[in-house]
Amino acid sequence: MNYLFIFAMATALCFGNSTETQAKILTAEGENKADQEYYEIRIYKIFDYEKQQIAENYLKTALIPALNRMGVDRVGVFSNLADENDHSLFMLIPFSSIDQFTNMNQTLARDADYKAKAASYFKRNKKTAVYQRIESRFMKAFEGIPVLETPKYSLEKKNRLFELRLYESPTEDHARRKVKMFNEGEIDIMRDVKLAPIFFGETLIGPDVPNLVYMLSGTDETSHGQHWKDFLAHPEWIRIKEIEEYKGTVSSIKKWMLTPTSYSQL
Give helix then strand counts, H and E, for the chain: 12, 8
**Confidence at residue 195, expressed as pLDDT on a 0 to 100 scale:** 98
pLDDT reading at 110 higher than 80? yes
Residues 178, 6 contacting (CB under 8 angstroms) = no
Integer Cα distance of 102 and 172 in angstroms: 25
Q: What is the pLDDT of residues 53-108, one digit of tens each?
A: 999 999 999 999 999 999 999 999 999 998 888 999 999 999 999 999 999 999 99
Same domain, 246 and 213: yes
Name the phi and psi angles at 179, rounded to 5. -60, -45
Same domain, 169 and 250: yes
If one counts the domains in the chain, the total is 2
Same domain, 12 and 61: no
**Confidence at residue 186, expressed as pLDDT on a 0 to 100 scale:** 98
**Confidence at residue 82, expressed as pLDDT on a 0 to 100 scale:** 84
Same domain, 20 and 37: no
pLDDT reading at 198 higher than 80? yes
Same domain, 149 and 232: yes
Residue 223 within a domain: yes
> Residues 113-142: what's their mean pLDDT?
95
Interhelix angle 112-122/49-58, rounded to 10 degrees, is 170
Integer Cα distance of 139 and 201 in angstroms: 5
**Confidence at residue 6, expressed as pLDDT on a 0 to 100 scale:** 42
Integer Cα distance of 79 and 86 in angstroms: 8
Neighbours of 221 (CB within 10 A): 13
**Confidence at residue 28, expressed as pLDDT on a 0 to 100 scale:** 36
**Confidence at residue 201, expressed as pLDDT on a 0 to 100 scale:** 98
Q: What domain range is 49 assigned to?
A: 33-260
Percent of the chain residues topping a pLDDT of 90: 83
pLDDT reading at 255 higher than 70? yes
Of the chain, the end-to-end C-alpha distance in Å amounts to: 28
Same domain, 167 and 67: yes
Same domain, 42 and 127: yes
Same domain, 11 and 88: no
Same domain, 81 and 10: no
Residue 265 within a domain: no
Confidence of residue 145 (pLDDT cuts 50, 70, 90): very high
Beta-ladder partners of 202:
140, 212
Same domain, 22 and 109: no
Torsion of CA 219, 137, 5, 250, to 10 degrees: -70
Integer Cα distance of 29 and 7 in angstroms: 14
